[in-house]
Amino acid sequence: MVFTTPEKCHKFIRYLSEKDDSVRYMNIVSGSFEHMIDIANQTHRKLVVDFPVSNPSKKYILYDSESKRINASIALRL
């Protein structure tokens, strides 16, 4: 996951820790968007930018390392 501000990262970590007390360790790094895409490509994972925690209808960006494409998505809570 990639966050555009440190505050959004901290908010998400607080959210996770409230939902699951087994969340003990996270590796947090800082870098450019290009660097994050390189990491996603090397590990063959998707990259989510600013996943909406408190606003379920908010748009977010999803990078797919398999197709090498950036997609806009909307999270919906049903």
The answer to whether position 58 is within a domain reads yes
The structural domain count of the chain equals 1
Supply the range of the domain harboring residue 67: 6-74
pLDDT reported for residue 70? 85
Kindly report the pTM of this predicted structure: 0.62
**Chain center to CA of 19:** 17
For the segment 4-63, what is each residue's pLDDT rounded down to a tens digit? 888 888 888 888 778 777 666 667 778 888 898 998 899 998 888 887 666 666 777 888
pLDDT reported for residue 13? 81
The answer to whether position 34 is within a domain reads yes
Rounded to an integer, the average pLDDT of 56-78 is 77
Q: Is the pLDDT at 78 greater than 80, yes or no?
A: no
pLDDT reported for residue 73? 72
The answer to whether position 51 is within a domain reads yes
Rounded Cα distance, 59 and 26, in Å: 24
Cβ atoms within 10 A of the Cβ of 43, count? 10
Stated length of the chain? 78
